[in-house]
Copies of this chain bind each other. A is one copy, B any other.
Amino acid sequence: MSLKFAILGYLSTGPGTGWDISRQFDTGLGWFWTARHSQIYPELKRMTQDGLVERDSETVGEALERFSYSITDRGRALLAEFTASAPVYPPNRDAERLQFIFADDTPEALRAHLEAHRERHTRRRTQLLEILDALRANTHERINLRVANRRAEGKSLTLGLRELAYQGELQRADLEIEWADGALDWLSDNTSY
Contacts and interface: CB of A to CB of B under 8 A. Distances in A.
Interface string A71-83: 0000010011011
B92 A32 contact: yes
Interface residues of A, number: 74
Contacts of A85: 99, 109
Nearest to A86: B116
Given A34-B91, A89-B120, A179-B168, A83 B96 contact: no
A87 B113 contact: yes
A190 B120 contact: no
Interface stretch (A15-23, A58-66, A149-157): A149-157
A110 to B, nearest CB: 8
A109 B94 CA distance: 30
Contacts of A99: 5, 82-83, 85, 87
A109 B26 CA distance: 28
A45 interface: no
A101 B161 contact: yes
A162 B102 CA distance: 9
Given A92-B30, A179-B171, A79 B100 contact: no
A100 to B, nearest CB: 6
Contacts of A101: 9, 32, 161-162, 165
A191 interface: yes
Interface of A: 1-2, 5-6, 8-9, 12, 30-34, 76, 79-80, 82-110, 112-113, 116-117, 120, 146, 150, 153-154, 156-158, 160-162, 164-165, 167-168, 171-172, 175, 178-179, 182-183, 186, 190-192
